[in-house]
Amino acid sequence: MRAAVLTGVGGPEQLVVQDVPEPEAADGQSIVDVRAAGINFADVLIRLGMYPQMPELPAVLGSEVAGELDGARVMGFARGEGGGYAERVAVDRRWLLPLPNRASFAEGAAFPMAFLTAWIPLTELVRIAFGARVLITAAAGAVGTAAVQIVRALNGKPIAAAGSAEKLELPRSLGAVEAVTYDAIGELEPVDAVFDLVGGEIFAASLSLVKPLGTAIAVGYAGGLWADVSPTWLVGRNIGVHGFYLGRLLARSPDLVERAAKDVLRLWEGGAVRPIVGAEFPLEQAGDAHRLIEERKSTGKVVLVP
């Protein structure tokens, strides 16, 4: 079968379509015919050799897919080592969800990672009271657009921040009540919570906006690693900082993730949220798809179609 293989650490040209052996299903796994594969920012970090848990290369990346299994339309996570950028992939049946009726495969491939990464921390780590102001960084991206819609669905007020003025239109159209570029974050009124996908200086700047008894959740470090936050500073300001990492939760708290997946799928089926597909590329252009994300030109989820 065909797959986009990451042949080594480096630029987008390291992603090359090759013939590879068919995947084999272990216990609890099934082989899904992939119709669309989601690209995650972590895949870009792996290609650049910057991910903490690097796979052995060459490897087929791709941790989430939508496709067909015995005639049923499904979406879900590929097994631990990935393999989604391919015509077929082994998936853990535990992590398969039915694709809603009218949804496209591309939307299915854009759903599991982005919506669980937004839903679990925004429901388990903070309490979003009616009208709560929640700042979301990288708000035009895959996880960011999910978070904006989820905060709105929870009756909070999403406040979007992104890297350019052009990117702000998308989160605005999804319900953000305010939208600013990062250089204007300091001018915002205080917020009840921060959902941060950027890390580095943006995370540090967003902490100063959190109201007493508010919370900042560190989720991503697309813009640089986090500086240490001192408990002394947190105590003095009456604020909390949480970290969130879905990968570890899938391994350590699968029941919680399973319940969350059903809850957030119901939100989609009920029309309160929907995955945003920003671009679709054939497998042969996996490198171009990576480049779009790496150069910060993507919005929503970027999806590969085998």
What's the min distance (Å) between Cβ of 91 and ligand NAP?
Answer: 18
Only one of the segments 74-82, 150-158, 206-214, 244-252 lies at the binding site for ligand NAP (rule: CB under 6 A); that segment is 244-252
| Residues numbered 285-304 forming contacts with ligand NAP, rule: CB under 6 A | 293, 296, 298
Element spanning 249, H or E: helix 246-252
Per CB under 6 A, contacts with ligand NAP among 104-163 are: 113-114, 117, 138, 140-144, 162-163
Nearer residue to ligand NAP within complex by CB, 117 or 206: 117
Tell the residue number behind the tokens 């997946």, with chain if given: 261
Question: Least distance to ligand NAP from the beta carbon of 162, Å?
Answer: 3
Residue 40 touching ligand NAP (CB under 6 A): yes
Give the nearer residue to ligand NAP in terms of CB position, either 29 or 117.
Answer: 117
Q: Determine the 3-state secondary structure of 172 from DSSP.
A: helix
Helix, strand or coil for residue 146?
Answer: helix
Q: DSSP for 89-119, please give it.
A: EEEEEEEEEEPPTT--HHHHHTSHHHHHHHH
- Measured from the CB atom, the residue of 100 and 275 that comes closer to ligand NAP is 275
Tell me the closest approach of the beta carbon of residue 228 to ligand NAP, in angstroms: 18
Q: Give the whole-angstrom CA distance, residue 34 versus residue 305.
A: 8
Site membership for ligand NAP, residue 233 (CB under 6 A):
no
Contacts 24+ apart (CB under 8 A), 176-180: 176/136, 176/139, 176/148, 179/139
Q: How far is the CB of 232 from ligand NAP (least distance, A)?
A: 26
Cα-flanking dihedrals φ and ψ of residue 204, to 5°? -60, -45
| Contact assessment for residue 73 and residue 98, using Cβ atoms and an 8 Å cutoff | yes
Contact call for residue 83 and ligand NAP (CB under 6 A): no
What is the binding site for ligand NAP (CB under 6 A)?
40-42, 113-114, 117, 138, 140-144, 162-163, 167, 197-198, 219-223, 244-246, 293, 296, 298
